Amino acid sequence: MTEKAIGVAVLGLGNVGSEVARIIEESAPDLAARIGAPLELRGVAVRRVSDDRGLPVELLTDNVEELVSREDVDLVVEVMGPVEPARKAILTALEGGKSVVTANKALLAQSTGELAQAAERAHVDLYFEAAVAGAIPVIRPLTQSLAGDTVLRVAGIVNGTTNYILSEMSSTGADYSSALADASALGYAEADPTADVEGYDAAAKAAILASIAFHTRVTADDVYREGITKITPEDFDSAKALGCTIKLLSICERVTGSDGQQRVSARVYPALVPLSHPLANVNGAFNAVVVEAEAAGRLMFYGQGAGGAPTASAVMGDLVMAARNRVQGGRGPRESKYAQLPIAPMGIIQTRYYVSMTVTDRPGVLSSVAAEFAKRGVSIAEVRQESMADEGARIVVVTHRATDAALSETVAALADHDAVQEVNSVLRLEGTSE
């Protein structure tokens, strides 16, 4: 083992940072043996410096920039959270020749490459395994294990809050508001749940996954996004009748258009998933990611997608890799964006659909509704009349694969149809072989 210790600065001492600091201290001998040099915690950035934070107060600082610029700091772990000042701190660290490990998905998903380029110029590492799906190794399998394969699709449940809410709705019949209230009471949902329930968090992760899977820069703005706030208990009833459940999916796909051009599609939406599909059985706050690659076939990664200790596990994996690279004088794989595939417009994406509507209960309505689908080339696989209400009937249509553009036109026509009182929901159906 080399004698020279590797100095580590941790930015943030919250859920994740306090676990990272604990593991660095408690596992010091093992980490030193694995790395070939001891790790030494040189400073921890917080907003509130005080002597009740579980660490010697001399280690704490509220001056992030000063900490990441210190000469005795070799590696920086950023687990503070907001895009700023994290972005600036990471840039300062990289430009100063320090490798950086971050869990900041919001920052990475809006990055136009400036962080990766700074790491490149300084010949240091920028690792972010913890930014997607907490403890689950998915970034390294995509960037390293599958580096020689062609990834076709990455689809997963990468937001624990929404998965908890949807699992509750499915198992108890609760409506969205009560399931959200339960999630908040148990600490699974934040005071402002918008980033989770509107799909922003899942979209940030989809952008990161699509970028590395398809060697293309994809930002959160490129990701089509729908949240879960409009899902109703009736949608779950219909899903069950169809042998499905409902999950918020992040899907990243290589699509080939009718012009032969390959494009990248990244999208987040709640979808019906057959109960026989592996993702249907991922419940509560758990996450899972299914990767399909040309030669490898289908791979599934499953585990705890959030929480202080699970996320710290992923951060520590990156930290050990970066420290080893430093000891050995090399660096890990650099950012790979050579393919630069264009982003596919949502209109060309083909999936199956579930459309639920309330119609006037009179003869001929079903066939005139069906005609609206047929006119736009959307073929119907199944029609169910779900219930009779005083004011009409609820019917559910499940289609074969169709383009999003054709389905959107159909839904607009149905909304104007004189026998359709309301289009209640439109959801995609994913994970079937048809």
Binding interface with ligand NAP (CB under 6 A): 12-17, 45-48, 62, 64, 79-82, 85, 103-105, 130, 134, 306-307, 311
* Phi/psi of residue 30, nearest 5 degrees: -65, -45
In this complex, which beta carbon is closest to ligand NAP, that of residue 15 or of residue 336?
15
Q: What six digits make up the tokens of 317? A: 């994996």
Q: What is the nearest approach in angstroms of ligand NAP to the Cβ of residue 374?
A: 46
The least distance separating ligand NAP from the CB of residue 117, rounded to whole angstroms, comes to 21
Q: Pick the closer one to ligand NAP by CB: 158 or 393.
A: 158
Cα distance between residue 61 and residue 307, in whole Å: 24
How many residues are listed for the chain in this entry? 434
Nearer to ligand NAP, 227 or 307 (CB): 307
163 is in an annotated binding site: no
SS3 for 43-62 is EEECCCCCCCCCCCHHHEEC
- Is 337 assigned a ligand-binding role in the annotation? no
Helix (H, G, I), strand (E, B) or coil at 242: coil
Q: Long-range contact list for 178-182, CB < 8 A, 24+ apart?
A: none
The annotation status of 13 as a binding-site residue, yes or no, is: yes
Q: Which CB, 15 or 232, lies closer to ligand NAP?
A: 15
The reply to whether 16 sits in an annotated binding site is: yes
Query: Which residue is nearest to ligand NAP, using beta carbons?
Result: 14
105 is in an annotated binding site: yes
Least distance (Å) from ligand NAP to the CB of residue 105?
Answer: 6
Cβ-based nearer residue to ligand NAP, 63 or 171: 63
> Least distance from C-beta 81 to ligand NAP, angstroms?
4
Is the CB of residue 421 less than 8 Å from the CB of residue 367? no
Q: At closest approach, how far in Å is the CB of 84 from ligand NAP?
A: 8
What's the CA gap between 295 and 418, in Å, rounded? 51
What Cα–Cα distance (Å) separates residue 153 from each residue in 210, 213, 292, 300? 9, 8, 5, 12
Concatenated DSSP letters for 1-50? Answer: --SSPEEEEEE--SHHHHHHHHHHHHTHHHHHHHHTS-EEEEEEE-SS--
Catalytic residues: 205
Q: List C-alpha distances in Å: 229 to 78, 169, 176, 419, 429.
A: 32, 12, 7, 27, 18
Residue 36 is assigned to a ligand binding site: no
Distance of CA 317 to the CA centre of its chain: 20
